[in-house]
Amino acid sequence: MVNGATKPKRFVNYLLLILFGSVMILPLVWMFLSSLKTSDEIFAVPLTWIPSNPQWDNFSRAMELAPFGLYIYNSTVTAIFIVVFQIISSSMFAYALTQLEFKGKNLLFNSILITYMLPAAATYVPSYVIVARLGLLDTLTGIIISNIASVFTIFLIRQAFLQVPKELVEAARADGANDLTVLMKVMIPMSKSTIFTAALISFVQMYNNYLWPSLIVSSQEKYLITVGLNRFFTTQGTFADQWPLIMAANVLAVLPLLILFIFLHKWFIKGISDNGVKG
Amino acid sequence: MTKIKLQHVSKQYTKESDKVIHDFNLDIDDKEFIVFVGPSGCGKSTTLRMIAGLESITGGELWMDDQLVNHVPSKDRDIAMVFQNYALFPHLTVFDNIAFGLKIRKVKKAIIKEKVEQTAGILGLTPYLKRKPKDLSGGQKQRVALGRAVVRDANIFLMDEPLSNLDAKLRVQMREEIIRLHKTLGTTTIYVTHDQTEAMTMATRIVVLKDGHIQQIGTPTEIYKNPNNMFVASFIGAPAMNFIHAKVVNNQLMTSEGKEIAPLARPIDHQGKVILGIRPESVVLATENDGLAMDVEFVEMMGADLHVHGKLEQSKIIIRLNPDVMVKENDRIYLRFPHEKIHLFDPNNEESLYQSEGMTAWVD
């Protein structure tokens, strides 16, 4: 788009990109700046951007009001477990869908896709009953187990596996590889960027997941950060002087995701564009 | 010792579709270099893939080392396969690509290193062991693919058009390397190609295929000298064998217009129309008195040879002459067909009716 375009065209393109980029990042910036303000500054008219005297102790004060560290830990650990299990099971599933021949393969794949069309809320009741019957209510294991299967991840990895040339699989087989070896040594390494992307998307999704975990866990020490923030907000937030603390807690909550994205954004973008172009 | 035995092997992809391989019978001995050759779609690759275990066998039996292997999975057949598009793993270095099969078999690290280095030495890949496939030229890639087969000391090598993606010069070079490799290692090899030159130069025996049927099995010389039918005769040899409409009257071979060509060395059980086959290099120049007239249409100077294209009565003909002979467009030249070089084919079923006893004539 940018390459080869004339100068005014390029100017407009960049202007639009900057505009949209700013709109996207503004809330984040606002959140971060607000976390350093006093409550008076937050509601000051006319609005001030830069806090005159950064209140770094907002962070420690927020941490005292609720165990946000524990919440973040809970969220991170659950999300990591879910992602690991999802990638393992989805890779195996995608392998079966692309490499094995069995009756009803297409039917199976289509029925998986149909479940993706279902609104998540429609499955909450049956899923809740299953988790309850398993005796996993109010446990992190319950959240993990109920999220292990991901249609989206299966679909994404299946698309990547379809791109692996048939000859490579045949060459591996002729070299003595069984299904597991083909999966581990050929399919997964060759679909690395897609798998990274799937893992990242899924991590973010699970870290941000609110409604379902809030149904499963009830004791405070098992709160995920999303649930914890909400409880904090509803219990404390009606008082205007708590806003800087809420903002500080929010900053702490998005920190793991930001760090993750900074380290892995190359893979993220590659994974998305790879599938887009070759598709 | 019979290494591989194919008995009445057939292939059909679905019950409704036609067979792509019909009643394939072949015994392959230890250390043979067998070439499957034929036009595209003749079933040569399918047959190879059935032997490799990458394609199921619909009918018949496949034996390897006296063991029925119809249902043995590819990984347990002790074969090594080389593919047309190299099939190298892009995420692995040359070393790891070559070592792939050994690592899967859990060979000790020190042995893998020694074997890979030895293989790389044979194939001239030592300087490239740390590179990734994308940094190699076509020829180097194919050498790595060969290396992957060589390093495993597999029982059987299967090669599916391994040289088709290379340019002409490299192809000749790699052809020599594969021949040398086969001489050194002596591994039983099945090689698929559509290139008759590769078949002629590499094979101990050639299997000519067409539409899933074996046309002929024989050594390169046998196939060249005594083709079973017009298809084999035209497919093997470049330029291809000439076919001229002719007739047999009282054991005498004549052109369609009744000019005498040559007496037959032995009687044949056929009268009337025949197709006369003669290789371009077998034609001899003659004089107006004892030759058949050919009208030259154009001439190709090949350097070592001169290819003269033209018409003899109604049939197109190409002859290969010494480049010193002065022949040019629109000339009329006279030809003689030595009787020991003549092939006759039945015009109805294209089967051979008469083969010159060329073998003896050529050997002396």
A222-255 confidence digits (pLDDT tens) = 899 998 888 887 776 556 667 888 889 889 999 8
Q: Give strand pairing partners of B251.
A: none
Residue B339 scores a pLDDT above 90: no
- Encode chain A in three state secondary structure: CCCCCCHHHHHHHHHHHHHHHHHHHHHHHHHHHHCCCCHHHHCCCCCCCCCCCCCCHHHHHHHHHCCHHHHHHHHHHHHHHHHHHHHHHHHHHHHHHHHCCCCCHHHHHHHHHHHHHCCHHHHHHHHHHHHHHCCCCCCHHHHHHHCCCCHHHHHHHHHHHHHCCHHHHHHHHHCCCCHHHHHHHHHHHHCHHHHHHHHHHHHHHHHHCCHHHHHHCCCHHHCCHHHHHHHHHHHHCCCHHHHHHHHHHHHHHHHHHHHHHHHHHHHHHHHHHHHHHHC
Reported confidence tier of residue B277, pLDDT bands at 50, 70, 90 = very high
Interface test with B, best of A163, A175, A274 (most B CBs within 10 A): A175
Record: contact B85-A174, CB cut-off 8 A: no
Check whether domain A62-278 has CATH 1.10.3720.10, yes or no? yes
Within 8 A of B152 by CB-CB distance, chain A residues are 175-176
Out of B52, B85, B90, whose CB is closest to A174?
B52
Question: What is the pLDDT at residue A231?
Answer: 84
pLDDT digits (tens, 9 = 90+) for B137-158: 888 999 999 899 989 888 899 9
Within 8 A of A171 by CB-CB distance, chain B residues are 81, 83, 87, 148
Question: What is the pLDDT at residue A161?
Answer: 94
| Cα–Cα distances in angstroms (integers) from residue A82 to residues A203, B269, B321, in the given order | 8, 82, 77
Residue A276 scores a pLDDT above 50: no
Residue B363 scores a pLDDT above 60: no
What average pLDDT does the structure give for chain B? 90
Report the alpha-carbon distance of residue A279 to residue B19 in Å, rounded. Answer: 34
Residue A277 scores a pLDDT above 70: no
Here the tokens at position A265 are: 């954004």
Report the SS3 class of residue B77: coil
Please compute the mean of the pLDDT values over residues A106-128 and round it to a whole number. 88
Cβ contacts of residue B351 below 8 Å, gap of 6+?
B228, B229, B345
Please compute the mean of the pLDDT values over residues B288-313 and round it to a whole number. 91
* Amino acid letter, residue B174: M
Burial class (CB in 10 A: 0-12, 13-18, 19+), A243: buried
Question: What is the pLDDT at residue A237?
Answer: 56
Q: Give strand pairing partners of B193.
A: B37
Contact between residue A31 and residue A258 where contact means Cβ atoms under 8 Å apart: no
Record: contact B148-A175, CB cut-off 8 A: yes
Question: What is the pLDDT at residue B27?
Answer: 95
Please compute the mean of the pLDDT values over residues B245-262 and round it to a whole number. 86
Question: What is the pLDDT at residue A269?
Answer: 72
Residue B224 scores a pLDDT above 90: yes
In chain B, residues 68-97 whose CB comes closer than 8 Å to chain A: 73-76, 79-81, 83, 85, 87, 89-92
Contact between residue A229 and residue A62 where contact means Cβ atoms under 8 Å apart: no
**Distance to chain A for B16, nearest Cα, Å:** 18
pLDDT digits (tens, 9 = 90+) for A32-76: 998 898 887 887 778 888 888 888 888 888 888 888 889 999 999
Report the SS3 class of residue B120: helix
First vs last C-alpha separation in chain B: 32
Task: Give exposure, A134-164, as e/b (b: 16+ Cβ within 10 Å).
Answer: eebeebbebbbbbbeebbebbbbbbbbbeeb
The sign of the CA dihedral B78, B83, B88, B89 is negative
| Cα–Cα distances in angstroms (integers) from residue B204 to residues B1, B30, B65, B182, in the given order | 15, 11, 20, 11
What average pLDDT does the structure give for chain A? 86
Say what percent of chain B tops pLDDT 90.
64
Report the SS3 class of residue B293: strand
From the list B97, B197, B187, the residue with the least C-alpha distance to B147 is B97
**Distance to chain A for B207, nearest Cα, Å:** 23
Say what percent of chain A tops pLDDT 90.
42
C-alpha angle A137-A141-A143 in degrees, rounded to nearest 5: 70
* Amino acid letter, residue B182: H
Contact between residue A172 and residue B100 where contact means Cβ atoms under 8 Å apart: yes
The domain locations on chain A are 7-57, 62-278
Report the alpha-carbon distance of residue B241 to residue B229 in Å, rounded. Answer: 12
Q: CB pairs below 8 Å between A and B: how many?
A: 62
Please compute the mean of the pLDDT values over residues A102-121 and round it to a whole number. 88
* Amino acid letter, residue B328: K
pLDDT digits (tens, 9 = 90+) for B79-94: 999 998 889 999 999 9
Question: What is the pLDDT at residue A4?
Answer: 56
Report the alpha-carbon distance of residue A87 to residue A68 in Å, rounded. Answer: 28
How are beta strands B156-160 and B2-12 bridged, if at all?
unpaired
* A168 touching B (Cβ < 8 Å): yes
C-alpha angle A266-A267-A273 in degrees, rounded to nearest 5: 95
* B101 touching A (Cβ < 8 Å): yes
Record: contact B75-A177, CB cut-off 8 A: yes
Out of A174, A176, A186, whose CB is closest to B89?
A186
* Amino acid letter, residue A11: F
Please compute the mean of the pLDDT values over residues B251-260 and round it to a whole number. 85
* A279 touching B (Cβ < 8 Å): no
Residue B357 scores a pLDDT above 60: no
Q: What is the ipTM of this complex?
A: 0.78
pLDDT digits (tens, 9 = 90+) for B153-196: 888 999 999 998 888 888 898 899 899 999 999 999 999 999 99
Minimum CA–CA partner of A164 in chain B? B89
**Cα B303 vs. chain centroid, distance in angstroms?**
25
Minimum CA–CA partner of B151 in chain A? A175
Minimum CA–CA partner of A191 in chain B? B91
Report the alpha-carbon distance of residue B119 to residue B116 in Å, rounded. Answer: 5
Sorted by where each starts, the structural domains of chain B and their CATH numbers stand as: 2-230 (3.40.50.300), 239-355 (2.40.50.140)
pLDDT digits (tens, 9 = 90+) for A135-193: 999 999 999 999 998 999 999 999 999 999 998 999 999 888 999 999 999 999 999 88
Write phi, then psi, for B357 (nearest 5 degrees).
-80, 55
Record: contact A181-B158, CB cut-off 8 A: no
Reported confidence tier of residue B346, pLDDT bands at 50, 70, 90 = very high
Cβ contacts of residue B55 below 8 Å, gap of 6+?
B11, B46, B49
Peptide bond preceding B239: is omega within 30 degrees of 0, i.e. cis? yes
From the list A111, A120, A114, the residue with the least C-alpha distance to A146 is A120
User: What is the H or E stretch that residue B100 is in?
Assistant: helix B94-104
